[in-house]
Amino acid sequence: MIKLNKHPDYSLELKRLNYTLDYLKIYNRVIAKQKNSLDSQIDSQLKHFDPDNKEQFTQVTLNTSIRDSLNQKVQNAERCLLKPYFARVDFKETDVDKLQNLYIGKMSLLKEETGEFLIVDWRAPISNLYYDGRIGKASYTCPDGNIKGEISLKRQYMIENGKLEDFYDVDITTNDDFLQACLSSSKDNRLKDIVSTIQVEQNKVIRANMWRPLIVQGAAGGGKTTIALHRIAYLIYTFEKKLKPENFMIMAPSHFFLSYISDVLPELGVENVMQTTFEDFAQKIIGRKLKIMPSTKKLSDLVNLRDSINCENIKKVSNFKASLEFKAAIQSFIKTIEQNFIPYEDFKIHTFVLIPSANIKRWFLEDYKSLPLMKRVNEIKKHLTNSIENNKARILQRVENSYDEKLNKVRDEAPDSPERRKIIIKLVDERDALLKNIKKNSKTLVKNYLSKISVLSPLEYYKKLLNDKALFNKLTEKYINHELSELIRETSKDILDKNVVEFEDLAPLMYIKYLTQGLDEKINIRHIIIDEAQDFSLFQFSVLKEIIDSPSFTILGDLCQGIYSFRGVTDWNKTADLIFGTNEPALLKLEQSYRTTIEIMDAANSVIRFLNNKSLPLAKPVIRHGDPVTVMEKGSLAKVKNEIEKNLLDLHKNKLKSAAIICKTMKECKELKSLFKNSSFNIQIINEKENNYAGGILIIPSYLVKGLEFDMVIIANASKEQYTPDELDVKLLYIAMTRPLHKLYIYSVGEKTEMLREV
């Protein structure tokens, strides 16, 4: 390898970097000055703000929006000063004389004097030359069409804190020195710097068609999460004139996970993307705060329970409640509700029928059947209101005419007398009272008619279904037997009676809310990205698709890590067919694992093979070697603790920053943590309620570690008693073994599990 300062292009590259940094500093000062000026202007406007002055309100709103944009540019420029670009591509278009030197970074920087791009945004169409192109003939697609030409140079840079550390000339970005250097870095840098090492298969995911559903089967360590975040950044850039960051949502498995990835989007220059969990989004849709049993509670029970019958019952109940069959049963339940939802009686004033009940019934059950129940009522309300407005004068005139006939008849049939005058006065009073009554009642007639409609909350409807044994059995009998139906009904009812809902209840409650009341506010999400999607049920996918009212989904997961398979996805093709149907989702794979070394990945693959399921795709590690996986049998957890302390000393010695000590259960986590009470190491124990990831050394149960990665992983007790060849145990051990970047230590109290016999 040529030393950096001996490279023939070193001085030119150093000069270019310094020139770019100088221009960036000037650009940053100009933008910061504009922002500060706007800050002062907005402060002045707010001091003299008149809420009734629409023009002033519009100006403040516009200025605030411009300031936010400038603030984002300032932040992007400040980050860019540390690493302005990471790659260069020299490209010459066919039939064009000029050679383009394209320096690719996380933002665009235009030299206004010449119109030259000093930095090209990695999301721009031309940047595809770096990710997909090779030396020689190449092309890229942009709004002007397919641009052909030739690449004469591809170069990758290592720039830290504005200093040129190294650069490499490459053809493709896989298995080269630059990629190896990036993969060898600590966990803290990897999430942020993946943009410089995006591989061809990852680039296809990032730039896939937004309007076509996308399902990605991604290997452990394949970069699913960060690729998902880069996809959001790419889509926002590509559709910036049509969509805002607020139109995108990423759904992650937990708040802890969201904290773990919290700084990635800002690093990519993206703010205000909605980041949520399914539980939080469900509560927003349902419209009330619910006491939700942690989604990991059931998994924890399955991990800890040894009662096979009880375990099977838990799985059967969850499996049905998560199914599209249960969704169909909920829909049938709402159809029984709608039959008697509104009063099927004539809408009338006094004796005058304004709208026959048959018409109202037809509107409700047929004409507006595509709407939620209460939105149908709103449509009918319009009809009722219009019928009064259109007929009130006519009815009043009919009353007057009717009484005029009666008065004239009295006058014609009898001579003037006190008796006749009494009759006439009585009729006039009767007429006036009736006219007054009609006028008065017409104001509240619609309200009174609709007051006979009783709408319950989603939770009340759900309880009503579960409390009605005969109805529940009738609605589910075509899908499951009576015994299972009763088990599901009783189990769910018992949980709800404690004012708690379990995770599998959320999709049904959302669906009931959607069918009965509709959405409280418009959902402006145009694209949703779901991470760890193998743990989502078909019911969840289906209800999200209906609520979002769009097939624009990116779904990423790994079937090998499907520890919630009793309720989650087991086949992506089936998911594609049942949820998206004719929308034909694109099915892509991320088979390469970039997280772990070959030694670690080979060991993990030997474990997942115990499932003997050829449909489960094995991860393919990149060519990065490391230390062998250490497997040691010890006589007690206390002795394991002593070995772990040695490992943690090596962590600091090797200047690594993060480590996870993984126990199978929370009980074992607490037992191990107690052994460290007098230790000099600062070790945090993670449970289901943890919301923030602060880094450092963690003790964490196996069922909470999915989706995370650490410099070092220590599996505290992989004994044959703890990890059996059962599917769940195999997947939990596999997940634990695929979390480390660099080092994996496995201990067992007593004899190790048979799954590690080849490790």
* The token pair that represents 240 in the structure block: 């910036």
H helical segments located in 469-532: 469-476, 482-497, 503-516
3-state SS, residue 309: helix
d(CA 748, CA 755) in angstroms, rounded, equals 12
d(CA 538, CA 327) in angstroms, rounded, equals 9
Determine if residue 221 is labeled as part of a ligand binding site. Answer: yes
Determine if residue 351 is labeled as part of a ligand binding site. Answer: no
* The token pair that represents 399 in the structure block: 């009353």
DSSP secondary structure, 77-102, as one string: HHHHHH-S-SEEEEEEETT--PEEEE
Q: Which helix (H) or strand (E) holds 289?
A: none
Determine if residue 225 is labeled as part of a ligand binding site. Answer: yes
Strands 87-93 and 145-160, bridge-based pairing:
antiparallel
3-state SS, residue 361: helix
Question: 327-349: buried (b, 16+ CB within 10 Å) or exposed (e) per residue?
Answer: bebbeebbeebbeebbeeeebbb
Determine if residue 138 is labeled as part of a ligand binding site. Answer: no
d(CA 369, CA 301) in angstroms, rounded, equals 42
- HSE-up of residue 747 (Cα within 13 Å, Cβ side): 23
Residue in 585, 579, 546, 534 with CA at minimum distance from that of residue 211: 585
d(CA 81, CA 72) in angstroms, rounded, equals 14
Determine if residue 223 is labeled as part of a ligand binding site. Answer: yes
Q: What are phi and psi of 635, to 5 degrees?
A: -85, -15
Determine if residue 659 is labeled as part of a ligand binding site. Answer: no
Residue in 511, 534, 574 with CA at minimum distance from that of residue 253: 534
Q: Alpha-carbon torsion 249, 254, 256, 257, what sign?
A: negative
- The 3-state secondary structure of 433-455 reads HHHHHHHHHHHHHHHHHHCCCCC
Binding residues: 218-225
Binding-site residue positions for ATP: 218-225
